[in-house]
């Protein structure tokens, strides 16, 4: 690999660390140490964890050298469930910052001299891409933790204005996607995770899919129609969860006292914008809404075909083509908006079939369980994907406003329990043709 490629890796490492530290800079030391919900780690755990992960892979695996191997057990996400992490002997905020800086300095020294050859771990800088994406994913996780601090205002900077789109009102509600085979997954994306591989042919029947994610306004109609009280719209497990958790509306919503709805966003109370995609709904809620609307959630294969496959039979990295995301194509973390954009925005990001916002804004629940593709092989470790395969987890696609461009593409697969709502999750509907 050329020195230019190494420069790109160093730049990506610097960029993600700058984002991580900037995200935490406004947070007090007490809040960094506090667990704001048993669903999430203390923020200081996440910070030291990304450093420990980087140490294990970019020092240990690449150069057979370590800085603080004794921290491995403390920052092992599989050994220590989130609810238990406050009881661990965690590094304090100053120690964590010093630790990740020390690791990073050594990593850059190793990068300078390493031969990025065709060994699987180093080919195309794969292991570096894995570490960069891992930290970006934790930045989104930390953003979700910041959202859970409902009484603490997080300072917002002026984000990118939504791209003006005069045709939103005339955008069709749904589009038809041709049936037939398409290529799902990838063999060509150098930094793709193991669960995105291998590329394989899937035959999908013709279907209709919404051009935009479901909006707050549309979801309010479901609430007003008694959707949460009607057993007929819910799966057995979903209905049980609605009763146990006393669900009546999306997470962070509340009645405004005047017949409308308000929400808490990073410590601020504001009216729920009717035209934004609904977020902070679990899979059960998304599935129930779709049934109420006379539709269903798209399968994972349908979603990827609508996002990436052209009518001419070619595959795209992103809905708009192969060029990287930009402010005119998608609402991702680099836009700094800290919320979804109105449904129907970003015409430059439209998919070949006419769908918008399939990258960014909200993660979209699909109907599919998280399972291995035919020919799947764990790489470089089982615990990233393989241990999660099965019916316990549902697949989400597309990324959110808190997702970094490096950690999103039309083949990227996210997954979570169907009860999860603290994530930046929404959905769009589909139906049979």
Q: What is the DSSP string of 65-128?
A: --S-GGGTTTT-TTTS-GGGGGGS-PPPHHHHHHHHHHHHHHHHHHHHH----SSTTTGGGHHH
Assign 159 a pLDDT band (cuts: 50, 70, 90): low
Residue 410 and residue 321: Cα distance in Å, rounded?
A: 10
Q: Is the pLDDT of residue 1 over 70?
A: no
Assign 128 a pLDDT band (cuts: 50, 70, 90): very high
| Contact present, 180 and 329 (Cβ < 8 Å) | no
Both tokens of 71, joined, read 């921290």
User: pLDDT at position 164, please?
Assistant: 55
User: pLDDT at position 161, please?
Assistant: 66
The SS3 of residue 302 is helix
The Cα-based distances of 402 to 145, 357, 391, 424 in angstroms read 12, 14, 27, 8
What CA dihedral angle connects 344, 217, 147 and 427, to 10 degrees?
-60
**Letter string b/e over residues 39-62, b meaning 16 or more CB atoms within 10 A of that residue's CB:** ebbbbbbbbbbbbbbbbbbbbeeb
Assign 136 a pLDDT band (cuts: 50, 70, 90): very high
Q: Is the pLDDT of residue 289 over 90?
A: yes
Both tokens of 387, joined, read 């241990």
Q: In the chain, which residues fall in CATH 1.20.120?
A: 3-148
> Smallest Cα–Cα separation from 48: which of 112, 127, 126, 138?
138
Can you say whether residue 246 is alpha, beta or left, with left for phi > 0 and alpha for psi between -120 and 50 degrees?
Answer: left
The SS3 of residue 318 is strand
Q: Is the pLDDT of residue 42 over 90?
A: yes
Q: Does domain 3-148 have CATH number 1.20.120?
A: yes
What stretches of 249-305 adopt beta strand conformation (E)? 253-255, 261-265, 268-271
pLDDT digits (tens, 9 = 90+) for 185-222: 999 999 999 999 999 999 999 999 999 999 999 999 99
User: pLDDT at position 165, please?
Assistant: 63
Q: Within a 13 Å sphere around the CA of 89, how many CA atoms are in the beta-carbon half? A: 4
Packed helices 43-54 and 126-148: angle between N→C axes, nearest 10 degrees: 180
Q: In the chain, which residues fall in CATH 3.90.1580.10?
A: 156-433
Residue 18 and residue 12: Cα distance in Å, rounded?
A: 10
What stretches of 108-225 adopt beta strand conformation (E)? 174-177, 180-184, 200-204, 207-210
Q: Could you tell me the fold of the domain covering 156-433?
A: 3.90.1580
What stretches of 289-346 adopt beta strand conformation (E)? none
Q: What is the DSSP letter of 304?
A: H
Model pTM above 0.85? yes
Assign 170 a pLDDT band (cuts: 50, 70, 90): confident
Q: Is the pLDDT of residue 150 over 90?
A: no
**Letter string b/e over residues 280-297, b meaning 16 or more CB atoms within 10 A of that residue's CB:** bbbbbbbbbbbbbbebbb
pLDDT digits (tens, 9 = 90+) for 104-125: 999 999 999 999 888 899 999 9
Q: Which residue has the tokens 């779709």?
A: 290
User: pLDDT at position 160, please?
Assistant: 65
Greater model confidence, 171 or 225: 225
């Amino acid at each position: 690999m050329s020195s230019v490629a190494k420069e790109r890796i160093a730049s990506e490492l610097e960029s993600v660390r700058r984002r991580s530290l900037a995200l935490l800079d406004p947070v007090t030391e007490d809040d960094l140490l506090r667990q704001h919900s048993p669903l999430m780690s203390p923020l200081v755990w996440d910070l030291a964890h990304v450093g420990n992960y980087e140490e294990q892979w970019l020092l240990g695996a690449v150069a057979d050298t370590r800085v603080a191997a004794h921290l491995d057990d403390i920052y092992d996400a599989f050994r220590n469930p989130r609810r238990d992490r406050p009881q661990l002997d965690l590094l304090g905020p100053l120690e964590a910052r010093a630790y990740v800086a020390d690791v990073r300095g050594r990593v850059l020294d190793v990068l300078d001299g390493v031969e990025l050859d065709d060994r699987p771990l180093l080919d195309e800088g794969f292991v570096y891409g894995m570490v960069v994406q891992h930290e970006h994913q934790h930045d989104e996780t930390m953003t979700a933790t910041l959202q859970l601090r409902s009484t603490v205002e997080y300072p917002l900077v002026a984000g990118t204005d939504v791209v003006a789109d005069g045709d939103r009102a005339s955008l069709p509600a749904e589009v038809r996607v041709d049936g037939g085979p398409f290529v799902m997954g990838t063999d060509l994306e150098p930094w793709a995770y193991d669960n995105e591989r291998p590329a394989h042919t899937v035959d999908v029947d013709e279907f209709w899919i919404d051009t935009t994610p479901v909006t707050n306004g549309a979801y309010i109609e479901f609430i007003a129609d008694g959707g949460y009280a009607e057993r007929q719209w819910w799966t057995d497990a979903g209905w049980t969860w609605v009763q146990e958790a006393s669900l009546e509306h999306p997470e962070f919503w509340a009645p405004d006292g005047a017949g409308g709805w308000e929400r808490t966003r990073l410590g601020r109370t504001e009216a729920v914008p009717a035209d934004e995609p609904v977020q902070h709904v679990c899979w059960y809620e998304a599935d129930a809404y779709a049934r109420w609307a006379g539709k269903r959630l798209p399968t994972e294969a349908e979603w990827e075909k609508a996002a990436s496959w052209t009518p001419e039979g070619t595959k795209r990295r992103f809905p708009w083509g192969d060029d990287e995301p930009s402010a005119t194509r998608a609402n991702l973390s680099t836009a700094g908006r800290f919320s979804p954009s109105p449904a129907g925005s970003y015409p430059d990001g439209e998919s070949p079939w006419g769908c918008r916002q399939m990258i960014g804004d909200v993660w979209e629940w699909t109907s599919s369980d998280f399972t291995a593709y035919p020919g799947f092989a764990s790489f470089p470790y089982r615990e990233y994907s393989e241990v999660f395969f099965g019916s316990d987890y549902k697949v989400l696609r597309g990324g959110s406003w808190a997702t970094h461009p490096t950690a999103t593409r039309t083949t990227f697969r996210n997954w979570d329990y169907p009860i999860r709502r603290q994530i930046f999750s929404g959905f769009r509907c589909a139906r049979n043709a």
